[in-house]
Amino acid sequence: MRDPKFFRQYDYDRSLLPNAHLRELDDVANLTEAKEKTGWSIGYPGWGLLYYLVMTNLDPEAENIIIETGTNVGSSTIMLAQALIDSKTQGHLHTFEIDQTFHDRATNNLAHAGVSGVVTQYLGDAKKLLPPKLDDLGEIRVAFLDGSHLVVDVLEEFAAVHKKLARNGLVIFDNTYLIADEDEDQRVHGALATLMSQYGGNLINLPSVSWYTPGVAIWQQHPFDERWDGLPPSSSCALTCTP
């Protein structure tokens, strides 16, 4: 593995976080304290990115389903849930965690954060739990995939949510920085390259977002509505044109 990089900020205005409990949890001064209190979460400024991405992509006229893999101790879960609450839209967050200790800590954090009412937690391997659970849910509006970072696991989780993803829904990936050496599993970075070759779509990578491994990527299949399907890729047509 390459040397780790940490872009997480500590000296910032905690009032920028929209949840009081998370503000308390992130009252830390260094990496050791942060890992102990908020777990392997994306931290600041990544939390703000996650919060506003979710809030601005929720449908005010529909039931919004949000999926998270890798609950950890619930810090990012709090931000996802708070975005749903603050948007004043209908919806629910379903989050999956494989580790019992993290699952229990997350349960406690979500309760103290006041967001438990819009969150359902699942204990177990997201790759196994996702397919049957998604059969019972409507379209996915946002998915935050932050469980296992191995290529095969990332792709398997993505394939599961892709089947139920809303037409212009978002899939958000954490830890996208190229951390692996050539002879190692290429992790999220490599999974994104494979994903683009298999599914196409639109991908934005933000390499300096928080934590180790840094980087957050946002994938969307259809950024516009059905009217745009017939446009050639090189079209310079203005937004008011009709194909």
| DSSP, residue by residue, the chain | -PPP------SS-GGGSS-HHHHHHT--SSHHHHHHHH-S---TTHHHHHHHHHHHH--TTSPEEEEEE--TTSHHHHHHHHHHHHHT--EEEEEEES-HHHHHHHHHHHHHHT-GGGEEEEES-HHHHHHHHHHTS--EEEEEE-S--SHHHHHHHHHHHHTTEEEEEEEEEE--S--S-TTS--HHHHHHHHHHHHH--EEEEETT-SSSS--EEEEES-SS-GGGTTS-TT----TT---
Classified by CATH at the fold level, domain 14-228 comes out as Rossmann fold (3.40.50)
Q: How far is CA 158 from the centre of its chain?
A: 11
Q: What is the mean pLDDT of residues 2-17?
A: 91
The sign one gets for the Cα dihedral 214, 69, 172, 180 is positive
Cα(first)–Cα(last) distance of the chain, in Å? 48
Q: What is the mean pLDDT of residues 32-46?
A: 92
Q: What is the mean pLDDT of residues 160-167?
A: 96
> Residues of the chain with pLDDT > 70: what percent?
92
Q: Mind listing the pLDDT tens digit for each residue in 77-113?
A: 999 999 999 999 999 999 999 999 999 999 999 999 9
CA dist 111 → 5, 75, 77, 121, 204 (Å): 32, 12, 12, 12, 33
Token output for 191:
């999974």
Spatial distance between the Cα atoms of 84 and 206, rounded to a whole number of angstroms: 23
Q: Mind listing the pLDDT tens digit for each residue in 191-238?
A: 999 999 999 999 999 988 887 789 999 999 998 866 665 555 544 344
Q: What is the pLDDT of residue 138?
A: 94
Considering only CA atoms, which of 173, 171, 119 is closest in space to residue 142?
Answer: 171
Confidence of residue 21 (pLDDT cuts 50, 70, 90): very high
* Range name among 72-86, 122-136, 168-182, 226-240 with the lowest pLDDT average: 226-240
- Provide the pairing of β-strand 216-220 with 165-174: antiparallel
Whole-number CA gyration radius for the chain: 18
Domain spans, the chain: 14-228
Q: What is the pLDDT of residue 226?
A: 67
Q: What is the pLDDT of residue 6?
A: 85
**The pLDDT of residue 72 is above 70:** yes
**The pLDDT of residue 239 is above 50:** no
